[in-house]
């Protein structure tokens, strides 16, 4: 069975599992979690289906872990403990910011569909007790805002030119899909092709951005295109994604978009997986201001706060791509 848990992690499932293991009873765990047994049982069934293992043995006195359940608990428990510790630090930092009246402002890249950030935003809102703001812009715009001190941090598409900032890759990436006019996909449907090679689109029009907009990403992708032998006819990409999809639907050209955009759906546009999906991926990274190297009285505390912020945002990034639970 395909394991979706780690592709779109929702750590609440593992937290529920850990509490049930501690209590040895679905009833006591449900009481501790302030919920009823039926939804808790459904969550555990969902977790077992995702992992493809049986976690508990049920008997008259309650529940005991299977050998596979014990292995899962050994993996999950350190992660949950680290989340608890990060949450505590996050609340402390948020309380300090609230007292100072300084908002934490975080930029979110428009290179990914906004639903990708839903779990991250929910986690930050639940844990951060100070003023908190989120803004959406392109990755280069976010980098400039962080460098100018207008943003505290930003989640951006990598690679990105940001020499004056600290760039940390995050454990989240999406394969690029070909967004095609529906009329272009008739041959694929006829032959039952589930994936297509980019070379099959050679000579076709590809909506793409100007190099000056993001030189690092532009050069990275053009290098990959050359590697796989993809030679399209480039046309300028609209800034707004709804305009881009409308023009694709009209048959003017194709686009390459992260998989999350396929959830939007657009009549006349088909999102086609690529044979090169392991190579053609968009990665997410964290941007923070460069650490101050001046030797003054406040430097130690400022560096400590900056390190804490990086640690806490990275922990919250574990929720990227997580969907809301029923």
User: Residue 154: which CATH number?
Assistant: 3.40.190.10
H helix or E strand, kind and range, residue 156: strand 153-158
Q: What is the mean pLDDT of the chain?
A: 84
**Alpha-carbon span 34 to 232, nearest angstrom:** 57
Which of 26, 46, 80 corresponds to the end of one domain?
80
Q: What is the pLDDT of residue 2?
A: 46
Q: Please give the average per-residue pLDDT across 38-63, as a whole number.
A: 88
Range of weakest confidence among 196-210, 238-252, 304-318: 304-318
Which of 53, 80, 107 corresponds to the end of one domain?
80
Q: What is the pLDDT of residue 297?
A: 36
Residue 194: give the domain boundaries.
Answer: 174-281
Q: Could you report the per-residue pLDDT of 271-290, keeping only the tens digit for each?
A: 999 999 999 999 999 999 88
10: confidence class by pLDDT, cuts 50, 70, 90: low
Is there a single domain that holds both residue 181 and residue 276?
yes
Look at residue 256 and tell me if it is in a domain: yes
H helix or E strand, kind and range, residue 159: none
- The structure's pTM equals 0.66
324: confidence class by pLDDT, cuts 50, 70, 90: very low
Q: On the CB side of 167, how many CA atoms lie within 13 Å of its CA?
A: 16
Is there a single domain that holds both residue 60 and residue 200?
no
For residue 294, pLDDT beyond 50: no
Q: Please give the average per-residue pLDDT across 49-60, as a whole number.
A: 88
Residue recorded with tokens 């009285």? 297
Q: What is the CATH number of the domain that holds 58?
A: 1.10.10.10
Is there a single domain that holds both residue 276 and residue 305?
no
| Counted domains in the chain | 3
Look at residue 87 and tell me if it is in a domain: no
Look at residue 313 and tell me if it is in a domain: yes
Is there a single domain that holds both residue 104 and residue 228?
no
Helix, strand, or coil (residue 324): coil
For residue 24, pLDDT beyond 70: yes
Q: What is the pLDDT of residue 312?
A: 74
Range of weakest confidence among 89-93, 244-248, 308-312: 89-93
Is there a single domain that holds both residue 34 and residue 75?
yes
Is there a single domain that holds both residue 266 and residue 293?
no
Look at residue 325 and tell me if it is in a domain: no
Is 33 within 8 Å of 16 (Cβ atoms)? yes
Is there a single domain that holds both residue 202 and residue 222?
yes
**Alpha-carbon span 323 to 116, nearest angstrom:** 8
Is there a single domain that holds both residue 312 and residue 252?
no
Q: What is the pLDDT of residue 234?
A: 95
Q: What is the pLDDT of residue 300?
A: 45
Q: Could you report the per-residue pLDDT of 96-122, keeping only the tens digit for each?
A: 555 555 678 999 999 998 889 998 998
Q: What is the pLDDT of residue 94?
A: 62
- Residue with the larger pLDDT of the pair 131 and 95: 131
Look at residue 3 and tell me if it is in a domain: no
Look at residue 2 and tell me if it is in a domain: no
Q: Could you report the per-residue pLDDT of 135-175, keeping only the tens digit for each?
A: 999 999 999 999 998 999 999 999 998 888 999 999 899 99
Look at residue 136 and tell me if it is in a domain: yes
Is there a single domain that holds both residue 187 and residue 263?
yes
Is there a single domain that holds both residue 268 and residue 202?
yes
Look at residue 6 and tell me if it is in a domain: no
């Amino acid at each position: 069975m395909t394991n979706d848990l780690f592709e779109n992690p929702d750590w609440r499932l593992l937290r529920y599992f850990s509490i049930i293991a501690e209590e040895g009873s679905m009833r006591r765990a449900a009481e501790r979690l302030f919920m009823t047994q039926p939804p808790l049982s459904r969550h555990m069934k969902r977790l077992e289906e995702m992992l493809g293992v049986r976690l508990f043995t049920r008997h008259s006195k309650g529940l005991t872990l299977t050998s596979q359940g014990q292995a899962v608990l050994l993996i999950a428990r350190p992660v949950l403990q680290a989340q608890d510790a990060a949450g505590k630090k996050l609340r402390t930092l948020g309380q300090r910011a609230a007292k100072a009246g300084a908002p934490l402002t975080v930029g979110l890249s428009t290179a990914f569909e906004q639903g990708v950030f839903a779990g991250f935003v929910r986690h930050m809102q639940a844990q951060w007790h100070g003023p908190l703001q989120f803004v959406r812009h392109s990755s280069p715009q976010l980098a400039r805002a962080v460098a100018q001190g207008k943003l505290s941090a930003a989640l951006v598409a990598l690679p990105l030119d940001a020499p004056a900032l600290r760039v940390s890759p995050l454990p989240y990436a999406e394969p690029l899909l070909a967004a095609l006019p529906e009329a272009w996909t008739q041959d694929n449907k006829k032959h039952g092709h589930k994936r297509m090679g980019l070379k099959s689109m050679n000579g076709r029009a590809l909506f793409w951005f100007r190099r000056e907009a993001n030189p690092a990403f532009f050069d990275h992708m053009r290098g990959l295109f050359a590697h796989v032998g993809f030679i399209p006819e480039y046309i300028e990409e609209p800034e707004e994604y709804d305009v881009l999809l409308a023009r694709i639907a009209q048959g003017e050209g194709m686009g390459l978009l992260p998989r999350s955009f396929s959830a939007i759906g657009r009549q006349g546009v088909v999102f086609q997986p690529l044979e090169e999906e392991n190579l053609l991926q968009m990665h997410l990274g964290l941007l923070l201001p460069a650490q101050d190297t001046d030797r003054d009285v406040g430097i130690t505390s400022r560096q400590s706060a900056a390190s804490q912020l990086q640690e806490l945002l990275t922990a919250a990034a574990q929720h990227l791509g997580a969907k809301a639970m029923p």
